[in-house]
Chain A
C-alpha cells in the first residue's frame, strides 16, 4: 500500500492529503443537509436550551447559579465533537462507498492515507469553526462568561484536539458498519443520539442511574463532555461530578484508548469497496 517508487515521489501521500482537505471542505459546505445536521445542530440546540430555560437557574449545593446557556455550552461543544467527527464521517464515507466515489478512488493511485488525511483535516476545520461559532454565540448572544485564565484554555485545547481527532478516526472506523449508503444515517444517527442522552450532553450525567453511568463511561462522548465541563463550569460544579472532581486524567486515558483502537480499526478494517458485493 505504501510502496514508493520513482514515479510517485516521497511526500506524495501528505501532499495529496492536504489537497484532499481543500476538496473535502468544498464538498462539505456545498451539501446543505450535512451543514445543517452536523455543523449547525449543536448551535441550534444551544439556542433552544438557552431560550427555553432562560428563566431557570442552574446551580450547585453551595449556591452558585449559572444560566442555561452557560450550563449547556460544554455539552454542546462535546456534542459538536461527536457530530463533526463520528456522525459526519461515518455517514459521509458510507455514502461515498455506496455511490461509487470510493470505487473510483480505489482505481486511482490515491493512497488510502491521503484520503484519511483529507477526511480528518475536514473534520478539524469544520469542528474548529463549529466550536468558534458556539463560543461566540454563547458569549455575545447569551452573555455566558467565558474563562479568562490560560490554564482553562490549555485544557480546552487538548480536550478539543484529542476529542476531535479521536472522533474523526472513530467516524472512519464506523463507516464500514452500514451495509449501504442509504442505511448510513439510519445506523449512525441513533448511535450518536443515544450517546448524547447518556453522556451528560442533554441530561445531567449524575442524575442517570449508576449502571447507565458506567455504561456511558465506556464511550468517548462522556469523557469529552466531562473535559468540556471542567473548562467552562464554575469550580464548585465539580462537586456534582462522579467522585466530586473533574477527572481529567480519566478524560485523557479514555480518549487515548479510543484513539488507538480507532486507528487500528482504520488501518486494518478500512476497504475502499466491498469486494464481490
Chain B
C-alpha cells in the first residue's frame, strides 16, 4: 500500500434527495494498493456514495476525485478508468466467456487486437481454454467469479469497485475470491469493496462504517476492534449501528 498516492479522495461529500440527506459530509482517502472495506447498515448511504464515486450520480455538495478525475466535471472519465463488479450482475450468462470478454473490451474501447490478446491470456491464466465456448451460465460458480473479476480488470483500471461481490456464494469460493482480491491489491490496484459478511472485513486494510449518512468509524480492523473493545468486526458493527441495544 502506498500512502502517498490517494486514488480516491473525498471531502465533505454530500447528497440530498429532497429533505433526506443520504450522504452527509463524508471525507476519506483511499490509497493505491489498498483494500478498503466500505461497510454500513442497509439504508446508511453506501449505495448512494458508491453511485457518486463511480460517476453515476451527481453529489449535492462537496468534492471527490476518483483515479484523478473530478466527480462533478469528469464522471465519464471516471467510468472509463474504474472497474466494477457486483454479485447481482457482472457477466452475461447467455454469452460464452470469449463473447463476454469481447463485449466488455468493446465497451471499454479496447482495440480488437488487444481484446484478442487479452482473451488468449485470460483463458490461459484462468485455465478456461476448454470452456471458452460454453455459455457462462453453465459454468461452475468459481469460474464465473474469477472471470467476472478479471473482466472488471480488463481495461487495467487503477481502482475496482466490488459491490457485495461474494453474496450468495459458497464458503470456499468466497474465501478463494478474497485471495484474488489480495493478489490484485498487491499489484497496486485499489480495491473498494462492500460486504455483509463481517469476517470479510478482516481481509481489508482499512474499514469504514457508515451510519445514517456519516462515516462513524474508519481504521484498520485491528484498531477498530481495540477502539470498540470488541473481539470481532461483527461486534464493532453492532456497537456502531445499534448502540442503544448494548
Asked if chains A and B come from one complex, the reply is no
Point out residues on B near A: beta carbons under 8 Å.
none
Which positions in A face B, CB cutoff 8 Å? none
